[in-house]
A and B are shown apart, each in its own frame.
Chain A
């Protein structure tokens, strides 16, 4: 049972985090909306019409879930990475460290903030998508569960990144060199089944493949992977990353000398 002190502390961190990205909405909410609109225009409308069908759906409908997922992933990650790093940089992270806030509340608060931004941007992108195509929903619960778990995974990733980061450059390295490639190769733009067998095998070690496909299943009812496998992968990542984040904060890595 959570004590009321911890509950209020958690609410405060969440409140602070949500207020942060809302305050700087021009930097946090507008760019993903523009980027994803461009994807819709270029891949969906211009090129998509020539590609024809993918997985039994027109190309635009096929990529919409993947593009929503892509924006959820980048935004939940970068929200926590920038926010926590800047709290370290400005040293206001000490406000939490001196207070009787348990580590799990700190982790949960930041992750909750990252999830909020990821999911909010996901909603914005979904609205934009409605200008380009109709969106059907096959199973809303799969959609909600996948988006929540995925945003949690990447919010945790962003937190761990920020803990180790020593400069602002360090929080853009992982998104540029790891997240973006994994996302592009994660079945956002194509069905894995189109790949030669070898590359299909390689794709199976890319966790984003599972997230994108589970999410797409929620909308279209099609998936390149088993749903149960996808949720197992998500679960394992959340547990592993949560444990890592807790360990790092407890040790005070990058926080206490």
Chain B
């Protein structure tokens, strides 16, 4: 099957000689849910900009469902729905107008566009606001408006650049649900995010980009499998005694906090058993940090070029 997106050796040098992309190659299968992950300034938005023709590439090729953007740009564009990182709608227009006009740019007749606008505004909980100027929406609503806008021409691949930035937990979850449903309907989804758990929750495949280069490109499963140590923070009652744990590396942070590194193979039972033997009560427990985040830090550190 033709990949939904195929990028080969993509380079971008911005004016003023800034080398933002240093040879990116990626392939995203049809129907995939794909995460593009990387720190600030890694080149995620630049990559998306090139795919959607908002940024002129310096070299390399991009194919969308087999259509090269150098040869069949308009066909390639018609497959893509874009939710950009920054708000980029006319702040003074009403939601309905924004959506219907956008559909028009893709050749969707107005009467069909109105029906679709109603469908997506309802699904994304914006129907009440349909006649409101976009500038009067909250940040989360603006994000959802951009998602609705990207769907108006029923794209085959939806590209979202940090769709949940500045969105509260509850709304984020409902967005995830919405994206999952879209994916289940067969739409290929590519997203970038800083919320690493987001990628873990949603995506099947992942590429990690740093400093304009891909440092990892694999399935989520495989990536998580390589991550075998998890750090837990245990909250103890104040003035607890110094506990000792055999077979674990651990740190007593203060008199009521203990940090323990647990290998996947070890499990937690032994930690609790040893602690109760010593009469140390555990009040609560949490992950020290996101596993993916740890992994990410490790990956990037390992592959940092010498210079």
Residues on A close to B: CB < 8 A?
3-6, 8-9, 11-13, 15-16, 19, 23, 86-87, 90-92, 94-102, 252, 256-257
The smallest C-beta distance from A82 to any residue of chain B, in angstroms, reads: 12
A11-B111 Cα distance, complex, nearest whole Å:
13
A3 surroundings in chain B (CB, below 8 A): 107
Q: Choose, from B80-88, B178-186, B269-277, the stretch at the interface.
A: B80-88
Across the interface, name the chain A residue whose C-beta is closest to B46. A257
Instruction: Assess whether A9 is in contact with B90, with CB atoms less than 8 Å apart.
Output: no
Provide 29 A-B residue pairs closer than 8 Å at the C-beta atoms, listed in order of the A residue.
A3-B107, A4-B107, A8-B104, A8-B107, A9-B104, A11-B104, A12-B104, A13-B104, A15-B104, A16-B97, A90-B89, A91-B87, A91-B88, A94-B54, A96-B105, A98-B52, A99-B78, A99-B102, A99-B105, A100-B73, A100-B74, A100-B107, A101-B105, A252-B56, A256-B54, A256-B55, A256-B56, A257-B14, A257-B54
Known contacts A8-B109, A15-B104, A92-B88: does B55 contact A100 (CB below 8 Å)?
A: no
Q: A100 to B78, Cβ gap below 8 A?
A: yes
**In the bound complex, do residue B53 and residue A256 qualify as a contact, i.e. CB atoms below 8 Å apart?**
yes
Restricting to B103-150, which residues have a CB under 8 Å from any CB of A? 103-109, 149
In contact, B56 and A100 (Cβ under 8 angstroms): no
Does B101 make an interface contact (CB < 8 A)? yes
By a CB distance below 8 angstroms, the chain A residues around B14 are: 257
| Minimum distance in angstroms from B93 CB to a CB of chain A | 8
Set of chain A residues within 8 Å of B73, measured between Cβ atoms: 100
In the complex, are the beta carbons of B108 and A90 less than 8 A apart? no
Smallest CB separation, A10 vs chain B (Å) = 9
Instruction: Tell me, rounded to whole Å, the shortest Cβ–Cβ distance linking B99 to chain A.
Output: 10
Partner of A98, one of B53, B56, B109: B53
With A257-B15, A257-B56 known as contacts, the answer to whether A94 contacts B74 (CB < 8 A) is no
Nearest CB in chain B: distance from A22 CB, A: 12
Q: Is B77 an interface residue (CB 8 A)?
A: yes
List chain B residues, Cβ under 8 A from A6. Answer: 107
Interface residues on chain B, number (Cβ under 8 Å): 37
The 6 closest A-B pairs by CB, nearest first: A12-B104, A5-B107, A99-B105, A91-B88, A100-B74, A100-B77
Known A19-B97, A98-B82, A100-B106; judge A90-B88 contact (CB<8 A): yes
Contact A9 B105 (CB under 8 A): yes
Q: How far is the CA of A257 from the CA of B12 in the complex (A)?
A: 10
Query: Is the C-beta of B92 less than 8 angstroms from some C-beta in chain A?
Result: yes
Residues of chain A within 8 A of B109, CB atoms compared? 8
Closest to A95 in B: B102
Closest to B55 in A: A257
Give the docked Cα–Cα distance between A15 and B101 (Å). 8
Q: Which residues of B contact A100 (CB under 8 A)?
A: 73-75, 77-78, 105-107
Please tell me if the beta carbons of A95 and B89 are within 8 angstroms of each other in the complex.
yes
Q: Are A12 and B101 interface neighbours, CB within 8 A?
A: yes
Residue of A nearest to B103 (CB): A12
Q: A91-B87, A98-B82, A257-B55 are in contact. List 12 more A-B contacts (CB 8 A).
A: A8-B104, A16-B93, A16-B97, A86-B90, A90-B88, A91-B88, A92-B89, A97-B53, A98-B54, A99-B153, A257-B54, A257-B56
Taken together as a complex, chains A and B put the C-alpha atoms of A19 and B90 apart, in Å, by: 13
B105 touches A12 (CB 8 A): yes
Say whether B219 faces chain A, with CB atoms less than 8 Å apart: no
B231 within 8 A of A: no
**Hey, which chain A residues are within 8 Å of B15, CB to CB?**
257
Q: B104 — which chain A residues lie within 8 A by C-beta?
A: 8-9, 11-13, 15
B50 to chain A, nearest CB (A): 10
Do B90 and A87 have beta carbons less than 8 Å apart?
A: yes
Question: Does B91 reach chain A (CB closer than 8 Å)?
Answer: yes
For B53, B84, B103, B109, which residue has the most chain A Cβ atoms within 10 angstroms? Answer: B53
A13 to chain B: which residues have CB within 8 Å?
101, 104-105
Q: B117 to chain A: closest CB distance in Å? A: 13
Contact across chains for B91 and A90 when beta carbons are under 8 A apart: yes
Beyond A5-B107, A256-B55, whether A98 also contacts B97 by CB under 8 A is no
Docked Cα-Cα span, A3 to B78, in Å, equals: 14
Partner of A9, one of B54, B84, B88, B107: B107
A15 to B110, CA, bound (A): 11
A19 to B93, CA, bound (A): 10
In the complex, what's the smallest C-beta–C-beta distance from A182 to chain B, in angstroms?
32
Are the C-beta atoms of A99 and B90 separated by less than 8 Å?
A: no
B53 touches A8 (CB 8 A): no
B160 to chain A, nearest CB (A): 13
Residue of B nearest to A96 (CB): B105
Query: In the assembly, what is the distance between CA of A5 and CA of B87, in Å?
Result: 26
On chain B, the residues within 8 Å of A91 by CB distance are: 86-88
Q: How far is the CA of A210 from the CA of B100 in the complex (A)?
A: 41
As a 0/1 sequence over residues 31 to 59 of chain B, the CB contacts with chain A under 8 angstroms (1 = contact) are: 00000000000000000010011111000
> What residue in chain A is nearest B52 (Cβ atoms)?
A98
> What residues of A have a CB within 8 angstroms of the CB of B103 in the complex?
12
Chain A residues whose CB sits within 8 angstroms of the CB of B92 once the complex forms: 23
Q: Which residues of B contact A15 (CB under 8 A)?
A: 101, 104
B40 nearest CB across to chain A (Å) = 18
